[in-house]
Structures are given as C-alpha cells and as structure tokens.
Chains A and B, each alone.
Chain A
Amino acid sequence: MTRASEGMAGKSPRRVSIDLKTLGPAIALLLLCIIGFLLNPAFISEGNLTNLLTRSAFIGIIAVGATFVITAGGIDLSVGSMAAAIAGVMIIVMDNAVETLGSGVPTVLLGCGVAIILGIGAGWVNGALTTKGKIEAFIVTLGTMGIYRSLVTYFADGGTLSLNFEVRGTYRPVYYDSFLGLPFPVWVFIAVAICGWLLLNRTAFGRYCTAIGSNEAVAKYSAINVDRVKTLTYIIQGLCVSFATIIYVPRLGSASASTGVLWELEAIAAVIIGGTVLKGGYGRIGGTILGALILTTIGNILNFTDMISNYLNGTMQGLIIIVAVFLQRSDWKLGKSKKS
C-alpha cells in the first residue's frame, strides 16, 4: 500500500508517454501526407491543404457528435439522411422567407435557426426512442435514416431543392470565405472539436458517457441519469449535423435525395479509426478528428495521382478502416500479454 501511495506521488509529472494506440492515427495521417507529397509535391500546396481541411469539416463535425453517441454505447445511422432532410427544410424555409424577410442576412439566420432546431429535435427523437422506447439504437436510427431520406426526396419531389439565387449570394461566404487564412468551415470544425474535447474529457457529462458505455448498470447505481445522458448524446449528434449542414448548404445551394449519402458510415469510420471503441466505454475526440482527416486525405491523394483509379476511393478507405482497427486490436493484446 505504501508503494501504491508512492506511485501516486511519483505520478505528479503527468504522464507524457503516449502509447502507440493513441499515437497511431497521427502517425497514419503523417504517413499519408508524406506519400501524398512524394506522389505529387502539389499535395502540400496551400490551396490543396485548405481544400482538404474544408472538405474534412463536414464529416469531422458530424463525427465529433458520433464520438459521444458511440462512447456512450449507442450508434446513430441516421446522420447522413438527417443532414439531407435538414438541408432540404432549410432551403424551403429560406426560399419562402424571401418575400417577407428579403434575401439578406435575416433569411439566412432564420434558415440556420431552423437547422439547429431540427437537428436538436431529430437527435431528441433518436434518443427518446432508444431510452424511453427501449428500442436498440441500431434499429431506431436505421428507421429514422429511412424516414429522413424519404422525406427529402418527397420535399424535392424526386428532384432537387434549390436555394433562391439572391439568398445564395448572401449565404455563399459561409462556405467560400476565409478568416485569418483559414476557410470559415475549418473554423467551425476547430470550434466544434475544441468544445467536444472539453465536454468529453473535462466535464462530468463526458465521464458519464464513458461510464454508461462501459457498463450501464454501474452507471445507474452510481446515481447517473442514464436515459438523460444517452438522450443528450443523440442531441449533441443532431446539433453537430446541424452545424455541418449549415456550412454545407452554401457550397452547392441545393439539396436532393443524394445529399449526405453514406455520411453516417464515413462519420462512424472516422470515429473508429480514431481509436474510439465501437462498443462504447472509451472515446477520443482527437482521434476522431484525425480519422476524419485521414479519410479525406485518402480521397485527395487519389485525385492527385494516376496510379490508383479514383473510383477505388472506397476500397482505400475500407482498407484503412480495417487496418486501423486491426492495429488497435493487436495493440490491446500486446498490452495484456505483458501483464498476464
């Protein structure tokens, strides 16, 4: 016991030694960047890098929300459809508001407000159905995924919803303009990432998410309101989808049935590549962000080179996901065999 206390005292210079598992995604990203540079030096041009970051922002922001859901032992398959539905409703609301509010900032703000309310609402529905309705998250979000997707198709009447041209002009800078050299979406990404990191690692809420994902019964017996915390993770997810949609809409100014297709899988992949455990109990926001960057970088590199067809983007992403999880697994084993 005395040794234990000494061990504690000796620990005070906080552990700087980061194990391979935490460092893995960072090393992978670095390797990808080096490969990208070797294949085509234009990879590290400022234009390409900002483009890469901007494109990572959508998946990255959604994946930050997914990190909370997955850490607390849930899963949300509906995010891609949710983004499409929110984008669709946003556009309809803004188009209809032009007559009363004009095509200026108020209309855009109205659209953003609607997006945020919808995101929170959709997240709450997912959360309430899993906790109060006691239906498995996979089933609930599989259901809402289908619902949101079909809603956007219905709103667009099978075609495309387009934003009023003048509103598009007002809204455009949100995607295309920069601040201090970084595009606006990247700033949103950074802000969401920092908030997410603080929330998961420094607050009681984050600790509760981890505890619930680790063992729900223990969480319940530890005076944690399990249903509320779980519902909140889905609401955070919904909010993240809103943010991603808000910066996505000005990019194309339209929404259709193919908006946000497969985003849910990319978001989950980013989370898993980042080292978060799929069955819950352990989550890493930093890893998630690296995961999102890795996924976008792969696509970017394939665009830059002729060696591998761009059509094989999905293959490369799939391989990376499997390899990442495999490495994490063998790392677990290594850690264990040392002790037992």
Chain B
Amino acid sequence: MHAETSAPAAIIEAVNISKSFGPVPVLFSVSMDVRPGEVHALIGENGAGKSTLMKILSGFHDPTSGQIRLDGKPAALPPNGAAEKLGVVLIHQELNLAEQLTVEENVFLGRELKKNGFLDRAAMRAAVQKHLDEIGLDILPTDRISSLTIAQKQMVEIVKAVSRNARILIMDEPTAVLTEEETLVFYRQVEKLKNSGVGIVFVSHKLNEVKAIADRVTILRDGQWIDTRSSQDLTPDMMAQMMVGRELSDLYPPMQEADVDAEVVLAVDRLCTADVDNVSFSLRKGEILGFSGLIGAGRTAVFEAICGLAPMESGTIRLFGRDVGPMTVAEARNAGLAYLTKDRKEKGLLLNKKMQPNLTLFALPKFVKNFTIDRKAEEDALQRAIRRFDVRTLDPEITVGKLSGGNQQKLLLAKIMECDPKIVIIDEPTRGIDVGTKQQIYHFIAALAAEGVSVVVISSEMPEIIGICHRVIVMREGHITGVLTGDHINENEIMRYAAGLKREELH
C-alpha cells in the first residue's frame, strides 16, 4: 500500500456531527471525511457510536446538529436508503437481499431494465455477468441467493452497490462472518474498488485487518472523536489503546496452572456425527480447554452433538465418570453441561423480549414453585446478573435487541450461568464485541475455572485461545489434528495443525 501523495477532495464529509436519541446523546461533534479511492476504517468499542455515525453518513439517521457535505456542498441525505441514488450505499451486517430471488433480480431490484414494457432479462443478465467477471466471483446471475454462501452474498451486495454507481460504500463488519480464505477474496475486491475510485468506510473489530487494508483510521470512544490517522502510523496495539483509552496489558488474566491430576469431568470417545469424524478428548475439572481451527472445522458440531442440539451417530460420552447416552438439551443442562452459542442474535437471545425473560429462560425450571414461575426470584436473579456481569443499560425494561453487542453477550453469559453449570462450552466468546468487554469476559472465564468449573472455549481468534487456554485442541475437517499444551500453544503451531500441514496420530 503506497502513501497518498496529495489528498484528493473528499466525496463525503461529516462536519461536527452530534446525535441524541431522545435525551441520550450518542455522538458529540464528530467529524470524518472519505476521499475517493481510500479505505477508511472506523473503530471503537461497542457503543462508541460507530453504527450511528455510519447511519448518519448514509442517511438512515438525521444528525441532531452538524452537517453532511457531499462533494463539498452541504446536503441533506434522503432517509431509508434513498441516499443510494446519490452514490452513498450502506451494506448492513445483516445482508439485505431477497433470498428467493436470483442474483440478477436482486442486483436490479427496483430499477429493472425494460424493453417494450417487459423485463429485458438478457440485458440485465449480461450487465450482472460483466460485474461478476470484474469482481472475479464465480457464480451465475441466475443463481438463487438462498443457495449462496455468506461470503458470496456479501459480494452480491457489493456488486449491487457498484452497479448503482456507488461512490461511497459503507460496510458494517464485513468480515465478521467470513472464513480466512473468504476474507482474502474480500480484500482483493476492496483493492479493486479502491482503484476504481470508490471511497470505502468499514467498521471492524479485527485490528490486524484494519492495519492491513485501511488507508486511514478514525477512532471513536464514547461518542467522541479521538483521532483520524494514517494507518501506517498506527499499530493494532495503539488502536486498541486509543479505543479503550487505557493500557490493555492486562487484556488476558494471569494464567493459573491447571491441576493435571484433577478429575476428568467429560470424556468423549470416538464421537461421530454428520460433520465430525472420530473425535476423542477429555476435559478436567477447572481446566480451560481451547478448540481452535478454521471456520467449518467441526468444532461447534462436536459440542452441539454432546449437548443434545444435534444428533450423534456413534461414540460414547462419559460425564463425571458416568456413561451417558445421547442427551436432550434439558438433560445436558440438568447434568451440569451448558453450551453458549456463537450466534447470539439468532440462537442465543429473544431480541424482542426484555432482559428478564431472556435471563431465566435456560434455567426456568429452577424458578418454578408450585407449578408457577416465582417472579420475585426472577427479579432478584436479574439484579444479581446485572451486577455480576456488569450489564450496562439505562433502562432494564429495554428489549434485548436494543442492547449493544457487548451487553448482549454478557446477558447471554448470565443466562447460561443461571443454571450453575459445572462445564461450560463458550462458542466464540467475544465475536463482534469491543476490547473492554472482551477483557471482562476473559477475566470471567478465568475466574470460573479458578472456582472449579471446566470451560471449553471454541474460538477462531488465535490470540484469545493462546491468551486464556490451558490446553488447545486443533480441528480440521471434522478431525482432531493436534493437542497442544504449555509452550506449544502458539500461533505457528496452531496454524500448522489447523491448515493440515501437521498432524498427530491420536488413536
């Protein structure tokens, strides 16, 4: 990436933008500008105001005060995505495609080409094919969206934006759901878009990625503008510090030695399911066991089978020294085994409900007295959970969907812990949450282990696996390829096992 010699005039500028939702201010006089052909990263903790700023830049929200300038002229952006006509496109994290329509139909949705009053399918197909070729995407214009992978869908969104002559592309955590390979493809697309003069704004919690592809970085903290700098002047550590505003040397808690003689609480032998082949491992009391590997390596599938969320084909599970057959989720819970999903919005929390029913849903039988729910006990539980997990909200009656990602994750953790499990499986404990909350969650996991709870951490983020786990199991394509302990837990080793370059004979 070469330094820009002269800064071209910005396409879009936000000048002293402030925004309040009712009485709650979320942005304080923030300024930012995007130039043609640059990648501008927007980083900050959850709740720092990134999403709000993105929505203001794309016209979904109006600023309370301040100005948006387009090509140097003050502009009022039309609401609800109509700013696309001005070349400003926001790609939501939850992609906005009609699943049952084809790629072509999606790209031209709302501005179909017509000939003599009928759809000109040939022309549209050709146009879409041209864009797909340009971007190097190997799908057909006639493919149905529902048959595509997430990465491909994202590319279709980009094609859609490009075909509408987008000059500014704003993306909310575009790589959060991509595998590493897909991420690389995504980087190449970004590079191409840059070269064609599109200005790109993107939000990411992956600071290495920001360092790799951004030209400039704007940091927000608590709704304040902290700095805008060339990414060459920043290291990921510096970015993290500026986001949090304090030293982060203690991101990971001090590692407590695991007791290698502690009793084995969970022993899995030759587990097979649709996505898992012959997996055997054991977990000791008070141990933090990491499961690493690429996305799709079968880590989640192992534990969904153990916890009764997916069928198992063969294999045995010993829980606290007793053989247990395939369990239902409720049986697993009663036996002290709890699984915390990585998909907190779709599988973890009822987004349109308040915190209260969400918190107690998993452990609800505990709250039943004389066939009815003990509402006093529920209220007490919520207050305890808010304190213990530091869930921050001004209004406890708010629906969970309105909480920030970090607070949702804390609530989900609280929900799972409500049944006092002896073994907790946490799948992607810190996906899409900010550094400060990450730190809290790591410390919480360490504290749990110190109390004698066994924790399995499934994570695609290598630093956190290395930072908190006593022992690491690496999986690839449904198999366990390696088990690492002590000094062997490092990025190099994990990567070699995960990529299939190295493999232990385990059986």
A positions within 8 Å CB-CB of B: 1, 3-5, 7-8, 11, 198, 202-204, 207-208, 210-211, 214-215, 217-225, 281, 338-340
CB of B349 within 8 Å of the partner chain: yes
CB of B500 within 8 Å of the partner chain: no
A-B contact pairs, 15 of them (CB 8 A): A5-B386, A5-B387, A7-B395, A8-B382, A8-B383, A11-B396, A203-B368, A203-B371, A215-B346, A220-B347, A222-B415, A223-B333, A224-B361, A281-B350, A339-B21
Chain B neighbourhood of A210, CB < 8 A: 353, 357
Q: How far is the CA of A198 from the CA of B353 in the complex (A)?
A: 20
Q: Are A218 and B372 in contact (CB under 8 A)?
A: no
List 7 A-B pairs, minimum CB-CB distance, nearest first.
A223-B329, A202-B372, A223-B330, A222-B361, A217-B347, A222-B362, A223-B333
B positions within 8 Å CB-CB of A: 21-22, 309, 328-330, 332-333, 339, 341, 343, 346-353, 357, 361-362, 364-365, 367-368, 371-373, 379, 382-383, 386-387, 390-397, 402, 415
| Chain A, Cβ-Cβ closest to B332 | A223
Given contacts A1-B392, A4-B392, A221-B347, A207 and B22 within 8 Å (CB-CB): no
Q: Are A207 and B373 in contact (CB under 8 A)?
A: yes
Q: Are B22 and A339 in contact (CB under 8 A)?
A: yes
Q: Are A8 and B352 in contact (CB under 8 A)?
A: no
Q: Are A211 and B361 in contact (CB under 8 A)?
A: yes
| Chain A, Cβ-Cβ closest to B349 | A218
Chain A neighbourhood of B368, CB < 8 A: 203-204
Q: How far is the CA of A4 from the CA of B21 in the complex (A)?
A: 18
Q: Are A211 and B350 in contact (CB under 8 A)?
A: yes
Given contacts A215-B350, A217-B347, A7 and B329 within 8 Å (CB-CB): no
Chain B neighbourhood of A214, CB < 8 A: 350, 352-353
Q: How far is the CA of A5 from the CA of B389 in the complex (A)?
A: 13
Chain B neighbourhood of A211, CB < 8 A: 350, 353, 357, 361
Closest chain A CB from B181 CB (angstroms): 27
Given contacts A203-B368, A203-B372, A220-B309, A4 and B393 within 8 Å (CB-CB): yes
Chain A neighbourhood of B352, CB < 8 A: 214, 281
Q: Are A4 and B386 in contact (CB under 8 A)?
A: yes
Q: Which of B22, B328, B332, B392 contacts A338 (CB 8 A)?
A: B22
Closest chain B CB from A135 CB (angstroms): 20
Q: Which of A8, A218, A220, A339 contacts B396 (CB 8 A)?
A: A8
Closest chain A CB from B153 CB (angstroms): 19
Q: How far is the CA of A219 from the CA of B350 in the complex (A)?
A: 9
Closest chain A CB from B52 CB (angstroms): 10
Q: How far is the CA of A131 from the CA of B348 in the complex (A)?
A: 21
Q: How far is the CA of A328 from the CA of B362 in the complex (A)?
A: 30
Chain B neighbourhood of A215, CB < 8 A: 346-347, 350-351
CB-based A-B contact count at 8 angstroms: 100
Chain A neighbourhood of B379, CB < 8 A: 8
Chain A neighbourhood of B367, CB < 8 A: 204
| Chain B, Cβ-Cβ closest to A9 | B383
Q: How far is the CA of A186 from the CA of B329 in the complex (A)?
A: 42
Q: Are B21 and A340 in contact (CB under 8 A)?
A: yes
Q: Are A221 and B365 in contact (CB under 8 A)?
A: no
| Chain A, Cβ-Cβ closest to B61 | A340
Chain B neighbourhood of A218, CB < 8 A: 346-350, 361
Q: Are A223 and B21 in contact (CB under 8 A)?
A: no
Q: How far is the CA of A8 from the CA of B367 in the complex (A)?
A: 19
Q: Are A202 and B329 in contact (CB under 8 A)?
A: no
Q: Are B386 and A221 in contact (CB under 8 A)?
A: no
Chain A neighbourhood of B415, CB < 8 A: 222
Q: Are A207 and B351 in contact (CB under 8 A)?
A: no
Q: Are A1 and B391 in contact (CB under 8 A)?
A: yes
Closest chain A CB from B409 CB (angstroms): 15
Given contacts A4-B391, A221-B309, A281-B352, A198 and B372 within 8 Å (CB-CB): yes
Given contacts A217-B347, A221-B329, A221-B348, A5 and B383 within 8 Å (CB-CB): yes
Chain A neighbourhood of B333, CB < 8 A: 223
Q: Are A203 and B21 in contact (CB under 8 A)?
A: no
Q: How far is the CA of A223 from the CA of B331 in the complex (A)?
A: 8
Closest chain B CB from A256 CB (angstroms): 41
| Chain A, Cβ-Cβ closest to B24 | A339
| Chain A, Cβ-Cβ closest to B362 | A222
Q: How far is the CA of A203 from the CA of B372 in the complex (A)?
A: 4
Chain A neighbourhood of B394, CB < 8 A: 3-4, 7
Closest chain A CB from B362 CB (angstroms): 5
Chain B neighbourhood of A207, CB < 8 A: 357, 361, 364, 373
Q: How far is the CA of A210 from the CA of B396 in the complex (A)?
A: 20
Q: How far is the CA of A4 from the CA of B367 in the complex (A)?
A: 23
Q: Are A225 and B330 in contact (CB under 8 A)?
A: yes
Closest chain B CB from A83 CB (angstroms): 29
Q: How far is the CA of A118 from the CA of B17 in the complex (A)?
A: 66
Closest chain A CB from B335 CB (angstroms): 11
Chain B neighbourhood of A204, CB < 8 A: 364-365, 367-368, 373
Closest chain B CB from A114 CB (angstroms): 29
Chain A neighbourhood of B329, CB < 8 A: 220-224
Closest chain A CB from B58 CB (angstroms): 16
Closest chain A CB from B401 CB (angstroms): 11
Closest chain B CB from A123 CB (angstroms): 21
Closest chain B CB from A127 CB (angstroms): 18
Chain B neighbourhood of A11, CB < 8 A: 396-397
Q: How far is the CA of A180 from the CA of B199 in the complex (A)?
A: 78
Which of A3, A207, A223 is most buried by chain B, counting CB atoms within 10 A of its CB?
A223
